[in-house]
Amino acid sequence: MSNNANVAAAIKEVAHKVFGGYAELLRMPHTARFSIGSVIACMPFPMVGMTITISVQHYYGNYSLAGVLTAIQAIALAVSSPLLGKLVDKFGQRQVSIPTILVWIVAAIALTTSITNRAQVWVLYCLTPFLAAIPPWGAMSRARWTTMLKGDRERTDRALSLSGVFDECMWIIGNPLASTLAVISGLLAFSFTGVCVVIGALMFLTELTTEPKSQTQLAREAGLTREEYRKREAAKAQRMRERDAADRARREAEARGDDEQAVQAAVDRAIADSRAGKKESIWGPGLIAVCVTWFSLGAFQSASNISIIAFATEANMKQYTGFVFACFSFSSLCGALVYGAKNWTIPLWKRFYFCLIVVNLGVGTFMFAKHLWVIMIIYLLIGVCQAPTWINGNQLMLHLVPPTRFTEGVAWMGAMNSIGSSAGSAIAGVFIDHMGSHGGFLMATVLAITSLAIAFVGFRQIKSSTETPTLTEVSV
């Protein structure tokens, strides 16, 4: 009996360590509502691409067309996401999200009708871009967390991990549902997605107490125009960068044992270099490096996804593809839970590259798999690093963009991932039509290796960005 009691106590202690921090966040007033609402509203992300692929292949019998359509949707999403993120930061979450949702619902109805009636291909090309009218729910949810927890680094990191956990829940539910419902009816799959959008949007947008103030609101409260307000905050950001550069230069000079005159000269040079940089744009070498990495990440993952669908179709197991993707998401969810529960002392850039290497090399082994269940097992093994990779990316954004540009920064990261996904889907679709699923896996492997090489090209910028403080004192 005592052994059982000890085991129970040990399990309880582990559970408290893993889930206690998350439970504390969700017990904060109103946080559970907007967090869960954003996940439900995000259902188009896992469901639309797979529904288009399965439905188009069923009605038109062409993987190239399916790949091109998902690529068009991804490119449109890449264009719209940063724009919507920027508009959200300027005008507010509700003001931008409501009209965007209406556009998506109309587009989904029109596209579903066209596919099921085997409309001309040009009609599909015209309608698909409007499915990118999706508010940046994930970025808006993270913006609420970072605003609420401003100045609390530990809980902010845990909140970003919690957002990653919820994202993986969405993929776990969305992927098998999409594959199952789309095989039955594309109309059914899109209808379910539309219901999720409406319910999630109502939960998220009616929670007003946690909504961050837009730049328009902040400027109005300060008695300024939005342009005047942004210039004022840009000046604050510049002073902060100058102070940080001066402090860093002073520490380095003193560590070298320089005399007082040499120390002051080093400080003056650091301030001058800081002033020579761009003052108002969020774009810098670090953000560019992260976005290019996310482009390549999306390319090989989308290529592997469409290749898995083709592989399962060849094996007469198409109905199980969603469950294979769900295993990846479940493994990723477990990785997010453990990753967010720990207060890491390992530098962020080391964690970022380790997780990236595991995911990239793991996907590269798909071409050697002989059965769908082997791919599922590989997904279970490498998935534990998927969500941490995205969590690390979100944490990098805290070092690279100011708080009231955070939605825009995260949207750009997602946009580059979508552009990469479009390229991967289109390329893999052509190879699959000519060489079968093996050709698709071969291309996914090449893209994965290329992705890793691109990530290491930006090594210096990514490493240096994690050595700068998070921009939580200004609101550009």
Domain end call among 237, 255, 276: 276
Distance, CA of 289 to CA of 396 (rounded, Å): 11
Q: At what angle do helices 153-184 and 44-60 cross, to 10 degrees?
A: 20
- Do 189 and 332 belong together in one domain? yes
State pTM to two decimals.
0.63
Residues of the chain falling short of pLDDT 70: 1-20, 46, 63, 151, 168, 171-172, 174-176, 178-180, 182-186, 274-286, 318-319, 340-343, 402-407, 465-476
What backbone torsions phi and psi does residue 34 show, to the nearest 5 degrees? -75, -30
Nearest Cα to Cα of residue 158 among 1, 13, 22 = 22
Going by C-beta distance under 8 Å and a sequence separation of 6 or more, which residues neighbour residue 456?
A: 353
Show the domain range for 262. 227-276
Distance, CA of 129 to CA of 432 (rounded, Å): 24
- Do 348 and 419 belong together in one domain? yes
Rg (CA), the chain: 23
- Do 347 and 444 belong together in one domain? yes
Nearest Cα to Cα of residue 407 among 180, 209, 215 = 215
Would you state the pLDDT for residue 195? 86
Task: Output the six-digit token pair for 442.
Answer: 């071969």
- Do 369 and 460 belong together in one domain? yes
Q: Could you tell me if residue 32 is inside a domain?
A: yes
Q: Could you tell me if residue 271 is inside a domain?
A: yes
Distance, CA of 83 to CA of 326 (rounded, Å): 30
Distance, CA of 128 to CA of 119 (rounded, Å): 13
End-to-end CA distance of the chain: 60
Distance, CA of 290 to CA of 278 (rounded, Å): 18
Per-residue buried b or exposed e for 363-389, using 16+ beta carbons within 10 Å of the residue's own CB? bbbbbebeebeebbebbbebbbbbbbb
- Do 125 and 65 belong together in one domain? yes
Distance, CA of 403 to CA of 400 (rounded, Å): 10
Count the neighbouring beta carbons within 10 Å of the beta carbon of residue 5: 9
Provide the CATH number for the domain around residue 36: 1.20.1250.20
Going by C-beta distance under 8 Å and a sequence separation of 6 or more, which residues neighbour residue 127?
A: 107, 110, 111, 114
Number of domains in the chain: 2
Q: Could you tell me if residue 222 is inside a domain?
A: no
Phi-psi map region of 200: left, alpha, beta (phi>0 left; psi -120 to 50 alpha)? alpha
Q: Could you tell me if residue 261 is inside a domain?
A: yes
Residue whose pair of structure tokens reads 């509700």 in the numeric block: 94
Instruction: State the alpha helices, DSSP H only, in 206-259.
Output: 215-221, 226-256
Task: Output the six-digit token pair for 49.
Answer: 């691409």
Distance, CA of 165 to CA of 154 (rounded, Å): 17
Q: Could you tell me if residue 6 is inside a domain?
A: no
Nearest Cα to Cα of residue 292 among 458, 80, 59, 175 = 458
- Do 158 and 28 belong together in one domain? yes
- Do 248 and 380 belong together in one domain? no
- Do 237 and 385 belong together in one domain? no
Distance, CA of 75 to CA of 227 (rounded, Å): 30
Distance, CA of 474 to CA of 405 (rounded, Å): 10
Nearest Cα to Cα of residue 124 among 79, 70, 178 = 70
- Do 156 and 175 belong together in one domain? yes
What backbone torsions phi and psi does residue 94 show, to the nearest 5 degrees? -65, -40
- Do 352 and 375 belong together in one domain? yes
- Do 313 and 408 belong together in one domain? yes
Distance, CA of 340 to CA of 387 (rounded, Å): 10
Would you state the pLDDT for residue 102? 92
Q: Could you tell me if residue 9 is inside a domain?
A: no
Q: Could you tell me if residue 8 is inside a domain?
A: no
Distance, CA of 474 to CA of 235 (rounded, Å): 9
Q: Could you tell me if residue 476 is inside a domain?
A: no
- Do 54 and 139 belong together in one domain? yes
Would you state the pLDDT for residue 278? 44
